[in-house]
Amino acid sequence: QEPLTETTEGSCINLTCSHLNIQTRDLICGYRHLPGQGPTCLTLITKDSKEVPDLPGHLCVAEDQQSSALWLAQPRCVNMALYYCSLG
């Protein structure tokens, strides 16, 4: 995962994670960790793409299954957080 990505309010952002060995049954979760709270899984996917219910955006897996990306369409200051992904 990229160590740091910044954007301005309202500008879309794409957060990419690399995965070396995605297996057919593996789940990828995009997390958001808000200040003062625990991490929350935004959505789970195994392949393709899925909308993120709490944010305008989606989580998708690349066709070669070597990476995933969390795309946020219009981030706002209230969405300022640590975002990361996990594979399991």
Beta-carbon count within 10 A of 10 CB: 10
CA distance 30 to 81: 12
Instruction: Measure Cα distances from 36 to 22, 32, 40, 51, 73 in Å.
Output: 32, 12, 12, 25, 24
Evaluate if pTM is beyond 0.85. Answer: no
**Distance, CA of 72 to CA of 11 (rounded, Å):** 9
Residue 14 and residue 35: Cα distance in Å, rounded? Answer: 21
User: Which domains, ranges and CATH numbers included, belong to the chain?
Assistant: 13-87 (2.60.40.10)
Please list the pLDDT of the chain residue by residue as tens digits (88 residues): 666 777 888 888 888 988 877 777 888 999 999 999 999 999 998 888 889 887 888 999 888 888 899 999 888 888 888 888 888 7
